[in-house]
C-alpha cells in the first residue's frame, strides 16, 4: 500500500461546502437500499475482489447512482458553468475559460459514449457539442425538460486533434455540469 500511510484519514466521507460529498461505499449504491447522499456526490467502492468502482449520485432516490468507472480505454472530461447558463453560453472545460476559446483537444480517435448533464435546479434547455471551427452546427445535443439530470448514450466518432466546445444552444440551465465519457477507437 504505497503512500497510503501518508494520507489524511477520514472515517466515512468528505462534505464539500454542504453541497456534495465523497463517500466510501461497501455495496453497489444503485441497488436497494442504495445510499443517501446529495446529487452530484461521488462514491468510491472497493469490493472484496476485483476492481474498484466510482459512482456519481444523479437523482433524489437513494438508488440514483451511475457507475462512471473508466477502464484504460476510456476517459472522462468534465465541463461546467457556475451560474445560470442561457442560450448561447459556452461551458468551461478549464475553470474560467470558455470552451469556444479554450476547447478540449482529443489526443486520439475517440467515441463519445455517454453524456451526463446535472443542474442544481429543474431546468429546460439543450447542451450541444460542437467540433471547432464550426460553432454553428452541433454534432451532438442533449435536452432537459424541467429536469435536474439527464443521461444519454451515443456512438459518435471524433478524430485525433478534434477540438470540442460545449454550448447551451437553447433554453436556460441552472449551474450545468456535464460529464462526457469517451472511449478510444
Residues 88 and 134 in one domain: yes
Q: For residues 76 and 112, give the distance between their C-alpha atoms in angstroms, rounded to a whole number.
A: 10
- Output b/e per residue, 71-104; b: 16+ Cβ within 10 A: eeebbebebbbeebbeeebbbbbeeeebbbeebb
CB 163 within 8 A of CB 130: no
Which regions in the chain score pLDDT beneath 50?
A: 1
Residues 35 and 54 in one domain: yes
Residues 109 and 180 in one domain: yes
Residue 72's pLDDT is 62
Residues 92 and 148 in one domain: yes
Residues 106 and 168 in one domain: yes
Residue 48's pLDDT is 67
Question: For residue 76, what is its C-alpha cell?
Answer: 472522462
Boundaries of domain holding 60: 4-67
Residues 107 and 169 in one domain: yes
Question: Hey, is 26 helix, strand or coil?
Answer: coil
Residues 10 and 78 in one domain: no
Residue 1's pLDDT is 46
Final residue of a structural domain among 67, 97, 122:
67
pLDDT digits (tens, 9 = 90+) for 162-183: 999 999 999 999 999 899 988 8
Residue 146's pLDDT is 95
Residue 86's pLDDT is 94
Final residue of a structural domain among 41, 67, 93:
67
Residues 97 and 61 in one domain: no
**β partners of residue 144:** 125
Q: For residues 20 and 11, give the distance between their C-alpha atoms in angstroms, rounded to a whole number.
A: 16
Residues 61 and 95 in one domain: no
Residue 67's pLDDT is 80
Domain count, the chain: 2
Residues 107 and 53 in one domain: no
CATH code, domain carrying 113: 2.60.120
Strand ranges in the chain using DSSP code E only, listed in sequence order: 13-16, 20-25, 42-45, 53-57, 65-67, 74-80, 84-86, 92-94, 97-98, 104-105, 110-131, 140-158, 163-174, 177-184
- The DSSP letter of residue 55 is E
Residues 24 and 105 in one domain: no
Residue 75's pLDDT is 75
Q: For residues 81 and 98, give the distance between their C-alpha atoms in angstroms, rounded to a whole number.
A: 9
Final residue of a structural domain among 50, 67, 84:
67
Residues 48 and 85 in one domain: no
Amino acid at each position: 500500500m504505497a503512500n497510503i500511510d501518508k494520507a489524511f484519514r477520514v472515517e466515512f466521507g468528505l462534505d464539500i461546502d454542504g453541497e456534495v460529498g465523497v463517500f466510501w461505499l461497501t455495496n453497489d449504491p444503485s441497488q436497494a437500499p442504495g445510499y443517501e447522499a446529495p446529487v452530484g456526490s461521488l462514491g468510491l467502492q472497493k469490493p472484496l475482489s476485483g476492481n474498484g468502482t466510482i459512482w456519481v449520485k444523479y437523482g433524489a432516490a437513494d438508488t440514483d447512482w451511475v457507475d462512471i468507472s473508466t477502464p484504460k480505454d476510456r476517459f472522462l472530461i468534465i465541463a461546467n458553468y457556475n451560474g445560470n447558463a442561457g442560450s448561447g453560453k459556452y461551458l468551461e472545460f478549464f475553470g474560467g475559460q470558455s470552451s469556444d476559446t479554450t476547447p478540449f483537444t482529443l489526443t486520439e480517435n475517440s467515441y463519445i459514449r455517454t453524456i451526463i448533464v446535472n443542474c442544481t435546479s429543474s431546468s429546460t434547455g439543450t447542451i450541444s457539442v460542437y467540433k471547432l471551427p464550426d460553432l454553428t452546427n452541433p454534432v451532438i445535443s442533449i435536452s432537459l425538460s424541467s429536469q435536474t439530470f439527464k443521461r444519454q448514450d451515443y456512438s459518435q466518432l471524433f478524430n485525433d486533434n478534434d477540438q470540442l466546445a460545449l454550448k447551451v444552444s437553447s433554453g436556460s440551465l441552472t449551474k450545468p455540469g456535464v460529464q462526457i465519457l469517451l472511449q478510444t477507437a
